[in-house]
Amino acid sequence: MSTDRRLYFIRAMYEGLRDAMREDKTVVVIGEDVDRSIIGATRGLIEEFGPERVRNTPISEATFVGACIGASAAGLRPVVDLMVGSFFYVAMDQVANQAAKLPYMSGGQVSLPIVYFTATGPSGSAAAQHSENPHPMLMNVAGLKIVMPSSPCDAKGLMISAIRDPNPVIYLQDAVLGGTRGPVPEEPYSIPIGEAEVKREGEDVTVVAIGALVNRALKVAGEMERDGISVEVVDPRTLVPMDKKTILDSVRKTGRLVVCDNARMTCSAASEIAAFVSEEAFDSLKTAPRRVAWEDVPVPFSPVLEKRVLVDEEKIRAAVESTLATRTRA
């Protein structure tokens, strides 16, 4: 797909929602203040689709997340705006014990086409309770699909795919990407769930980056090219199911792996990717994989301390250089 039209990330999400609602009258949007949309993805939908399909709820995540499970079982396709990623914690029984497990426990007799979407991750001194990236914990809940786009084009295409999917899908919008712009085709289109993309080809090191870290990895790759270091950047786009083949093919070509994940190190997506690469492509590795993730602490409010914890270009570059400096296996 190519286009000269450039949209903000959050507007691309809106277009995906709008196009899916035009396509299917059973698609409804539910959440707190979705008629005006504090963050912006649902702003303007109520003017076209009315309050029957764009419905505000009380501030009770556990209630409306659970209500949408019943609504989807009865034939609707609810799209739930949770607003902030850490609000998943308030509704975890409904997400992990009900939405994720009922299709399995009913032997496939119940289909639950629900999308739970939210802004997630640090956005600049939002403090510990509004800076979470819950994707590692959600990846461990069998029965959920999880997407995390890094560009406006992917944001629209993955939103449409998530809504069309017959299973519960978690759609995570990295909070710092909302105001970024990029090319977005005008017509409806879908990005397949479970399909990674090589954002930049390279020969020396594979960098797998998630969400907003894709752009930072691409910036580092561009800078290191001037030093004669060729970095390949892979964007998983979907965390569950993970496109292992694209990542393994890249590592088998470069022999080195760095994984960048804006989440705590322990049990992170970075840890999972490093683990399956070590198991399935060990004979291709020239040195040990490197993980670039947070220390196991809450995200600080203090700008100085927050910067100390989060993943930035300097940490990505240092990890890439360390894989090149380490003595390679014979």
Out of 77, 130, 286, 317, the active site residue is 130
DSSP strand E in the chain: where? 6-8, 27-31, 54-56, 77-84, 115-120, 145-147, 169-174, 181-183, 197-200, 205-209, 231-235, 238-240, 257-264, 290-294
Our measurement of the distance from residue 115's CA atom to the centroid of its chain's CA atoms, rounded to an integer in Å, reads 13
Instruction: Identify any residues that bridge with 260 across adjacent strands, giving them in sequence order.
Output: 209, 292
Give the integer Cα–Cα distance in Å for 256 and 90.
39
**Cα 152 to Cα 234: distance, rounded to the nearest angstrom:** 17
135 carries an active-site annotation: no
3-state SS class at 76: coil
Measured between alpha carbons, how far is 181 from 190 in angstroms, rounded to an integer? 19
Sheet holding 290-294, edge to edge: 197-200, 231-235, 205-209, 257-264, 290-294
Catalytic residues: 130
